Chains A and B, each alone.
Chain A
Amino acid sequence: MNNAVIIKNISKKFGEVTALDNVSFNIRKNTIFGLVGPDGAGKTTLIRIMCSLLKADNGEIEFTGMNIKKGSRKIKNEIGYLSQKFSLYTDLTVDENIQFIADIHGVTDFNNRRDELLQFTRLKDFRNFQAGKLSGGMKQKLALACTLIYRPKIIFLDEPTTGVDPVSRREFWIILSGLLKDDITIFISTPYMDEAERFNYIVMMNNGHIISEGTPDEIKKALNMSVVEVVCSPVRDAYNILRKIEQADVQMFGDRLNIVFKGMGADETGIESILTENNITVTDIRKKIPSLENVFIELMKSKDT
């Protein structure tokens, strides 16, 4: 009942390559719904099909409660799409870009909404800047403001924070969570697993198939693993030593290692003694709630990307 979109048995081939193989899931209204997976998993293909920019070979997409007839052009005013590539006019100003998109969608009284969006995205001081002169984070915020000017019911964001710095990424997320108040549904794909932690629901894809889905908590629980995090040095030596132990997998996270145990038996004392025996300095060691990045690496491990 509360679904915004129902995706049924979508398949798509490009020549011999199967990009999507019988993919089905539902997107609940007024949630942040996330699509994650390695490059080539089929994420962009799926988003383009959902935005009717690309035709599926098989299957159906139903936008519920939006009164969109199949093939109708009206869908373009109900959905917003933010592509991976910067798609604005670099020689138009911030204001002009928003006005242009409003015009295309037949919105005439956009002035108040534009002020509101510029306030919301903190771009007000830059409204007379040419879009080409904005920084990467600001460009993404402008693209989002353009998408929101015609009040779509659902927006599709294809890796909106790729190439965006950590401070701007966080700002972008605060803006997104604020949007939910406006009764919007947000569909988003990202290669950043820390961002995926904030999705209400996640579909994880690989090679055109869904390999896991649920809330972040459900996805973690399904894998039934426990994690020890250790900050130590030299970290690469520690990595090579721990890789040899059989009961766990080791993942490198910058200056620290995550040792992933199947089941709940994470053994930090065992790890610590192996490291000290090998003359590794351990600064900190603790049990940790598994992150989605831990899960992702475990699920993808077998696949050679």
Chain B
Amino acid sequence: MNSIEVSNLTKKFGSFTSVNDISFSVGKGEIFGFLGANGAGKSTTIKMLCGILEPTSGDAMVSGFSISKDPESVKRNIGYMSQKFSLYGDLTVNENLNFFGGIYGLKNERLKERKSWALKISGLENKENTLTSTLSVGYKQRLALGAAVMHEPKIVFLDEPTGGVDPISRRKFWDLIHDISESGTTVFVTTHYLDEAEFCNRIILINAGILIASGSPAELKKEYIDNTVLEITCRETFAVIEKLIPEDFTQSVSAFGNSIHLILKSKFSPQDEELKIIKERIRKLTGDIGEVKIEIIVPSLEDVFLNLLEKRE
């Protein structure tokens, strides 16, 4: 049985359709990535799946309960954590865990056992009496996740859990997500860090309330970027991008840090004569800006995401 089964879910606010007839399913124990631009309808969908917002039409079964008919049972069987709200800063670590344990109805031995588990996974053993507001964001996020799954829910929803978190803490947080998923809990996660989305078993991408792509990271790359992708490392990236946009070999072009990713209109082998000609043309185009390095690369999910969303603008 699937952990989540969404059928024709729709939410309208007045005349505005926030979520438009989306259907998908999430398998048990999967790490499932839910991606989309700001305003695409992600938060609205999560609120519905958590049983706190009623759909206009359609339905979803979450852990076997209908979100429209039995939202209270849905709430009891899930965990939820977001970057924005998770813990009380003016309570100690111990008090926060007691509070969440209490909400989830944990008592006595079970509470004790789950609390020590949460402390262990967040790396806060022997720091029970620390005021939560004085913890660094990395610790706070891991503690918040621990608190959200204290009652061992079958599904946990993580809404941008790593927003604004530095590269090292983000990596530690994802180690924890893997551990939780391996223990059998389904993880439903949203993120704007596309390197994190690569860790998901499956992904769906929504735009303007409509589902536009779904699959494993590998499937998405194969389906949406089968053509050759070049990485161009040079100075003045934005000026070079402007020059590349109108060229006949360009399918799409985006800035990536100090380099440019250029998706070509066809697929070439590295030794292809036509590819050599394109590389020469790029060098001519960039003109006199110093060293220009051009290489074929394997596209990442961020390439897929940009390609899919920029095409729609």
In-complex Cβ contact of A305 among B172, B195, B217, B256 (8 A)? B172
Contact in complex: A39, B137 (CB < 8 Å): yes
Contact residues in A for B301 (Cβ distance below 8 Å): 254-255
- Per-position binary interface string of chain A over residues 179-218, scored 1 when its CB falls under 8 Å from any chain B CB and 0 otherwise: 0000000000001011101100000000000000000100
Contact in complex: A168, B38 (CB < 8 Å): yes
- A262 at the B interface (CB under 8 A): no
- A59 at the B interface (CB under 8 A): no
- B102 at the A interface (CB under 8 A): no
- A174 at the B interface (CB under 8 A): yes
In-complex Cβ contact of B166 among A39, A173, A254, A255 (8 A)? A39
Contact residues in B for A254 (Cβ distance below 8 Å): 194-199, 217, 300-301
Nearest to B296 among chain A residues (CB) is A284
Contact in complex: A255, B300 (CB < 8 Å): yes
* Nearest-Cβ distance from residue B293 to partner chain A, whole angstroms: 7
Contact residues in A for B166 (Cβ distance below 8 Å): 37-39, 191, 296, 300, 305
- B164 at the A interface (CB under 8 A): yes
A283–B222 Cα distance when bound, in Å, is 13
- A105 at the B interface (CB under 8 A): no
Contact in complex: B257, A193 (CB < 8 Å): yes
Contact residues in A for B255 (Cβ distance below 8 Å): 170, 173, 198
Contact in complex: B169, A163 (CB < 8 Å): no
30 A–B contacts, CB within 8 A, in A order: A38-B136, A38-B168, A39-B136, A39-B164, A40-B136, A135-B38, A137-B38, A165-B37, A165-B192, A166-B305, A167-B310, A169-B192, A170-B254, A191-B164, A195-B257, A198-B237, A198-B255, A231-B298, A254-B199, A254-B300, A256-B298, A283-B298, A284-B297, A289-B293, A291-B257, A293-B167, A300-B168, A305-B138, A305-B166, A305-B172
What 3 A-B pairs have minimum CB-CB distances, sorted nearest first? A135-B39, A254-B198, A136-B38
A135-B39, A164-B38, A166-B302 known; 19 new pairs, CB 8 Å cut-off, are A37-B166, A39-B166, A40-B137, A138-B38, A162-B164, A164-B192, A166-B306, A191-B165, A197-B257, A198-B237, A198-B257, A236-B178, A254-B199, A254-B217, A283-B298, A297-B167, A297-B168, A301-B168, A305-B166
* Interface positions of A (Cβ within 8 A of B): 17, 37-40, 84, 134-138, 159, 162-170, 173-174, 177, 191, 193-195, 197-198, 216, 231, 236, 252-256, 283-284, 286, 289, 291-293, 296-297, 300-301, 303-305
